[in-house]
Structure 1
Amino acid sequence: MTDRPLKRALISVSDKEGLVDLGQALAARGVELLSTGGSAKALRDAGLTVKDVADVTGFPEMMDGRVKTLHPAVHGGLLALRDTPDHAKAMEDHGIGGIDLLVVNLYPFEATVASGADEATCIENIDIGGPAMIRAGAKNQGYTCVVTDPQDYDALLAELEAHDGATTLPFRQRQSAIAYGRTAAYDAAVATWMARFEETPRRIAAAATLTQTLRYGENPHQSAAFYTDGSARPGVATATQHQGKDLSYNNINDTDAAIELVAEFTDRPAVAIIKHANPCGVATGDTLVEAYRRAFDCDRTSAFGGIVALNGTLDAETAEAMAGIFTEVVIAPDATDDAKAVFAAKKNLRLLTTGSLPDPRLPIRAMKQVAGGWLVQDKDTGHVSPDDLRVVTKRAPTDAQMADLMFAWTVAKHVKSNAIIYVKDGATVGVGAGQMSRLDSSRIAARKAQDVAEALGLPQSAAVGSVVASDAFFPFADGLLAAAEAGATAVIQPGGSMRDDDVIAAADAAGLAMVFTGQRHFRH
C-alpha cells in the first residue's frame, strides 16, 4: 500500500502565510501537531494544541535558535522506513515517533541579501536545520510528505480530502521534487553570495524560481518558461505590468536589452527602441517625446512592433506619440495616469514600470550554456570617459563631436557584433549589427542613414556630418573608408589592430578625427 495516513505533522515555518488555516484543517482531522518557536506560538494563539519539538528531543532550543531540530528524534521520524523491521525496532527502542508530514519553509536568506543587509545579518539568515529536515523527509517519500511553500497548502488539503486523510505516493513524489528544488535553489543562492570571496569559484550554482510558463520560446516549436533569481535589480523581471497580454520569450529578451541600454543615460531624457535584441534607434532630447521622435526617425520601419525603453517617467505626450504605430512593449521607471489612459486603448501593448533604472556599472555574473557546460563571465560594465580616449589622427574631435562619440560608443556596447553606429546630435542615424564583416556592418549602417534621409525628406544622407563608433578595431581601412564615404567626420574605436597605422593613415587622408578607447565591446 502506497497511501500513507497522516497522523503526525511537524510544522516549522518562517513564512506564516496560511499557517493557522493549515493547522486548523490538520487538527480537525486529528493530526498531532509538533512545532517550534514562532510557529508553535502562532498555532497556540489560534487555540490549537501543539507539542514542542523540545519535548520530543529532550533538548531546549539553544544558541539563539541555531540548534533545535538537529536530533535523532526528529530525523529518525522523518527518515524511518516504517515497514522495515530493523527501522521499526529502532523507532520502538529509542521512542522515535514517525513524522508523516513536514511543513517547513526556510529563513529568508535571498530576501535578506536583496535588502542590502550587512554580512552578519545575511549569515544569520542561512538556514541549517530547515534544509536538513526537508532533504530527509523528501528522501523518504515512501512515507513522509514534505511541503515547503504556502502555495501548496491547498493542494495538500485537497489530497487529504480525496484520500480519506492519507497522501498518495505520486503526491509525495511531486512534493519531494519541489522540496529538493527548493533546497538546491537555496544552497545555490548562498553559494552565489559566498562566491564573492573566491575570484573564480571552483563550482557555480544558479538559483531561480518559476515566474511564468510561456506559450513558446523563440519559435512555436520550442517550449519555454521565465524564471527569476530573486535579485532586486530593476528590470523586466521585477517590473509591474499595467496592461496587455502576457510577455513572450522574445518580448522578455528584447525588453531586458532595452532597459539595460537606456539605463546608460542619466544626464538627460533618453529613449531606446529595440528590435530582435538590437537597437534600431536611440536618442536623447530635451524631453522624452523629443527623444522618442528622434529615436523613431532612425529606423521607422524596424520600429514597428518594437520594444521602447525610457529613462524617465512616461508622460501623456510621449505616450500619444508612441500610440501612432504598433509597439509590443513600453518599459519605463514610471508612467503618469494620463499616459496609462492613452495606452488603455491599445489593448495589445504591454506597459511595464520598474520603479528605477538598473545600474549599468553593477557587476553581474553572466552565464551561457554550451554543449556539456557553461561559459561564465562578468557582464560588460565597461565605461570610458573623454579623458580615457587617445587622439590618434592629425585632427582632434571638436567638443560637439566628442559628445556624439561618447554617445555612439555607449550605444555600440549594446549592439550585436560586428557593430557600427552612426550618431548625429545625440541620436543614432544608422545602425549596422551582427554582420560577419565589419565592412558589411558599415555599409548597412550607411544604408540605414540614407533611409533616414529619404523618410525625413533630407537632401542628403543623415550620416553626413555624423560620427561613427565601431565596437572593435578596424582590421583593415575599408570599413573606416566606407564610413568616410557615407559622410562621417569622426570615429571612435578600440584600436589594437596590427594595421592600426594603415587605418590611422587612411583616416588622416580622409580628413577624419579618430580616437582610440583601448577597450572593446564585443557582444554575441
Structure 2
Amino acid sequence: MSTDLVPVRRALLSVSDKTSLIEFGKALSGFGIEILSTGGTYKALKDAGVAVKEVAEHTGFPEMMDGRVKTLHPTIHGGILALRDEAEHKAAMEKHNIPPIDLVVVNLYPFAATVAKGADFPTCIENIDIGGPAMIRSAAKNHGFVNVVVDVADYAKIVEALKANNGATPLGLRRELAAKAYAHTGAYDSMIATWFARQNGESFPPTLLVSAERKQTLRYGENPHQQAAFYVTGDKRPGVATAQQLQGKELSYNNLNDTDAAFELVSEFSDKPTIAIIKHANPCGVAMADSLSAAWDAALRCDSTSAFGGIVAMNRKLDKATAEKIGAIFTEVIVAPEVDEDARAFLAAKKNLRLLVTGGMADPVASGWFVKSVAGGYLVQTRDAGRIVESDLKVVTKRAPTQQELADMLFAFRVGKHVKSNTIVYAKNGATVGIGAGQMSRVDSARIAYRKAQDAAKAAGLSETLTRGSAAASDAFFPFADGLEVLVEAGATAVIQPGGSIRDQEVIDAADKAGLAMVFTGMRHFRH
C-alpha cells in the first residue's frame, strides 16, 4: 500500500535528450540522491563533475551486445518494481542485494527522428528502444513508490517537490507522471507499429494505432455545451497544427476547423497570389490575381455577406495593402505563410483578430490519412490528393472550350474539391462568382450558387449576374439534365464534371443544345 510522501534516495538516469541533464543531475545530488546511469548519460554527468555510478557497477553485470543489454537486469527491475511495504518483496531485495530505485528518468531512443532522416531499415531497428520502455512501464506501474520522468519539462516538478517535502515526492505527482509515462510509451509503440506496417506494404494495418499530443484544451466544441481539445500528431505539414499564432484570442474549435479548411484550399494554388475566404468550413469566395490585394477584391465580391466573420487564407506573404482591406470587415482569423512587418503592425490594433503564420504552404498532393469517428469505430481513408490537369480532360460536346474557359474550369473544379457535397462552383477570370454547397440535390446547389451570384452582382451595382460567361464545376456527375439546365440559365458557357452517369448522353445533348462546352474529368471530389 503506497503512502503519500515517499523519499527519493536513488535515481536512475538514462536519456537520449541531454537537455538540462547536468542541471538536473546536480540538483538531485544536492538532495543526497545516489545517481545511477548508463552510456552517454553517465559520461555527460561524470564529465560535468556530478557524482554518478555506472549501472554495470551497480548490477555487477557488464553492458553487452552493443548496448542492447544493460538495464535489463533483476537488480534494476527488482529495485524499481518492489513494493516497499510488502514483507515478501523486502525479503527478496535483502536476499538478492537489490537496492530500491525511487526515481527513473528515461527518454527513449530517437526512433521518429531516425526515420525522418531517411535511415535504412537496420538503423531504424537499432533505434527501437527496449530497456527504456521496460523501465518506464515498471516505474509507472509502481508509482505508489517510484517517480518516473519521460519529459525534460518535468525535471522542475521533481526538484520543486523535493524542496517542498524534504527530499520526498507526493502521490499526486507520481500518479500524474505515471499517466504521462504510459502515454509516452504508447505513442512510441504506435510510431514503430505504423512504420513497420508501411515497411510491409500495408496501407491500412490490421490494428490502427494513432497517437497525438494535446496541444490545448479548448473553451468548448462546436457548441458551448460540448467539451473539446486540440491534439497534434507531430506531422510537420504546414497548417493550423504547426502555425505560430502572432496575436489574437485563443482559437476555438470552429476556428481551428475552418482555418484548416481555408489553408488546405489555398494551398492548391501556387502560380498566382490566391486568397480563400471560408465560413463554416466552406469557401464563400476564392480568387487568384496578380496581387494579393486584387485577389482579395475578387474573392470578397463573390459573397461579401458570408465573408463577415470568416477565415481568410492566402498563399503569399501578407502585405499591408491587403491587410488593410481584410481589416475593413470583421474577420476571425487570417492565416498566411508569412506576414510583413507593416501588415503585422497594422493588424496589431485589432486585438481579437487571430493572425497565424505557417512558414510555408501545404503540399496538396502529399499522401496522408483522413480519419473520421463513427459509432463504434473509425473510417479511415487517404487524403484527397487527386488533381486534374488539362491533359486529363475529355471534351464530350460538339464545342471545345476556349483556353480561358479551360483555365476557369480547372480553377472551379479545384475549388469544388474543398466544398461540401453536393457542390456547384461558378468561376470567371480566376475567381469564384457563385458557390453552392452541401445540398441534398445538385440542382439546388446550382440554384443557390446562381442566386448568390445575382445577389453579389446587385451589391456590386452590376447590371447582369456574375455567372454570365462563367465556367461551372460539379464535384460529381449530373444524374439528370435538370442540373445542367440551371447552369445554362445562370449564363455559364462551359462545364467541368466527372461524368459516369447512366444518363451522361442526356446531359451532353442538353449542353450541345445550349451551345455549352463540357469536359469530363473521370475523377469525383465528394466531400462530406
Q: TM-score, normalised by structure 1?
A: 0.96
Determine if the alignment matches structure 1 residue 490 to structure 2 residue 494. Answer: yes
Amino acid at match of 1:47: G
The verdict on how the C-alpha distance between 1:120 and 1:313 changes in structure 2, with shifts beyond 3 A counting, is farther
Determine if the alignment matches structure 1 residue 27 to structure 2 residue 29. Answer: yes
The verdict on how the C-alpha distance between 1:115 and 1:309 changes in structure 2, with shifts beyond 3 A counting, is farther
Q: How many angstroms apart in 1 are the aligned matches of 2:473 and 2:399? A: 17
Deviations 1:189-209 (A, max 9, x none): 222222223133111111111
Q: How many angstroms apart in 1 are the aligned matches of 2:490 and 2:432? A: 14
Q: Who is 2:143 aligned against?
A: 141
Amino acid at match of 1:461: T
CA contact (8 A) 1:110 1:230 kept: no
Deviations 1:425-462 (A, max 9, x none): 11000111111111111111001111121121111000
Determine if the alignment matches structure 1 residue 328 to structure 2 residue 351. Answer: no
Deviations 1:159-206 (A, max 9, x none): 223333222333222211111011111111222222223133111111
Describe the SS at the equivalent of 1:345. Answer: coil
Find the partner of 1:200 among 179, 199, 204: 204
Q: Who is 2:504 aligned against?
A: 500
Determine if the alignment matches structure 1 residue 363 to structure 2 residue 339. Answer: no
Describe the SS at the equivalent of 2:495. Answer: strand
Deviations 1:373-421 (A, max 9, x none): 1111101001121111111111111111011111011001100111110
Q: Who is 1:39 aligned against?
A: 41
The verdict on how the C-alpha distance between 1:283 and 1:19 changes in structure 2, with shifts beyond 3 A counting, is same
The verdict on how the C-alpha distance between 1:411 and 1:119 changes in structure 2, with shifts beyond 3 A counting, is farther
Q: For 1:43-62, what aligned pairs fall within 5 Å after superposition?
A: 43-62=45-64
Q: How many angstroms apart in 2 are the aligned matches of 1:230 and 1:109? A: 13
Q: How many angstroms apart in 1 are the aligned matches of 2:68 and 2:284? A: 55
Amino acid at match of 1:323: G
Q: For 1:148-163, what aligned pairs fall within 5 Å after superposition?
A: 148-163=150-165
Q: Who is 1:164 aligned against?
A: 166
Q: Who is 1:293 aligned against?
A: 297
Q: How many angstroms apart in 2 are the aligned matches of 1:123 and 1:457? A: 67
Deviations 1:53-106 (A, max 9, x none): 111233333344333212222112111223323322322232222111111112
CA contact (8 A) 1:114 1:232 kept: no
Q: Who is 2:73 aligned against?
A: 71
In structure 2, runs of 5+ residues without a counterpart are none
Q: CA deviation at 1:118?
A: 5.1
Q: For 1:451-466, what aligned pairs fall within 5 Å after superposition?
A: 451-466=455-470
Larger displacement relative to structure 2 (344-353 or 466-475): 344-353
The verdict on how the C-alpha distance between 1:225 and 1:300 changes in structure 2, with shifts beyond 3 A counting, is same
Q: How many angstroms apart in 2 are the aligned matches of 1:193 and 1:355? A: 27
CA contact (8 A) 1:464 1:488 kept: yes
The verdict on how the C-alpha distance between 1:123 and 1:235 changes in structure 2, with shifts beyond 3 A counting, is farther
Q: For 1:409-428, what aligned pairs fall within 5 Å after superposition?
A: 409-428=413-432
Q: How many angstroms apart in 1 are the aligned matches of 2:410 and 2:123? A: 41
Larger displacement relative to structure 2 (373-382 or 243-252): 243-252
CA contact (8 A) 1:472 1:521 kept: yes
Q: For 1:159-238, what aligned pairs fall within 5 Å after superposition?
A: 159-196=161-198, 197=200, 198-238=202-242
Q: How many angstroms apart in 2 are the aligned matches of 1:385 and 1:311? A: 20
Deviations 1:259-281 (A, max 9, x none): 11111111111111111111111
Q: For 1:270-419, what aligned pairs fall within 5 Å after superposition?
A: 270-419=274-423
Determine if the alignment matches structure 1 residue 257 to structure 2 residue 287. Answer: no
Q: For 1:507-522, what aligned pairs fall within 5 Å after superposition?
A: 507-522=511-526
Q: How many angstroms apart in 2 are the aligned matches of 1:483 and 1:80? A: 76
Q: Who is 2:127 aligned against?
A: 125
Determine if the alignment matches structure 1 residue 448 to structure 2 residue 464. Answer: no
Q: CA deviation at 1:119?
A: 4.7
Larger displacement relative to structure 2 (151-160 or 490-499): 151-160
Amino acid at match of 1:420: I
Q: CA deviation at 1:253?
A: 0.9
Q: How many angstroms apart in 2 are the aligned matches of 1:57 and 1:382? A: 58
Task: Among all aligned residue pairs of Structure 1 and Structure 2, give the percentage whose two residues are the same amino acid.
Answer: 64
The alignment of Structure 1 onto Structure 2 pairs a total of residues equal to 524
Q: Who is 1:480 aligned against?
A: 484
Larger displacement relative to structure 2 (120-129 or 203-212): 120-129
Describe the SS at the equivalent of 1:134. Answer: helix
Q: CA deviation at 1:346?
A: 1.5
Amino acid at match of 1:446: Y
The verdict on how the C-alpha distance between 1:184 and 1:7 changes in structure 2, with shifts beyond 3 A counting, is same
Determine if the alignment matches structure 1 residue 105 to structure 2 residue 113. Answer: no
Deviations 1:446-501 (A, max 9, x none): 01111121121111000010011110111111111111111111111111112112
Q: How many angstroms apart in 2 are the aligned matches of 1:16 and 1:451? A: 62
Describe the SS at the equivalent of 1:381. Answer: coil
The verdict on how the C-alpha distance between 1:350 and 1:106 changes in structure 2, with shifts beyond 3 A counting, is same
Q: How many angstroms apart in 2 are the aligned matches of 1:111 and 1:347? A: 38
Amino acid at match of 1:182: H
Q: CA deviation at 1:116?
A: 5.0
Q: How many angstroms apart in 2 are the aligned matches of 1:421 and 1:303? A: 17
Larger displacement relative to structure 2 (186-195 or 299-308): 186-195
Q: CA deviation at 1:134?
A: 0.6
Q: How many angstroms apart in 2 are the aligned matches of 1:203 and 1:44? A: 44
CA contact (8 A) 1:191 1:204 kept: no
CA RMSD of aligned residues (A): 1.6
Amino acid at match of 1:502: E
Amino acid at match of 1:400: Q
Describe the SS at the equivalent of 1:75. Answer: helix
Amino acid at match of 1:234: P
Q: How many angstroms apart in 2 are the aligned matches of 1:195 and 1:356? A: 30
CA contact (8 A) 1:283 1:292 kept: yes
Describe the SS at the equivalent of 2:144. Answer: coil
The verdict on how the C-alpha distance between 1:170 and 1:292 changes in structure 2, with shifts beyond 3 A counting, is same
Q: TM-score, normalised by structure 2?
A: 0.96
Deviations 1:319-353 (A, max 9, x none): 12211111111111111111211211222112111
Q: How many angstroms apart in 2 are the aligned matches of 1:444 and 1:409? A: 17
The verdict on how the C-alpha distance between 1:34 and 1:342 changes in structure 2, with shifts beyond 3 A counting, is same
CA contact (8 A) 1:20 1:43 kept: yes
Q: How many angstroms apart in 2 are the aligned matches of 1:332 and 1:261? A: 12
Q: CA deviation at 1:117?
A: 5.0
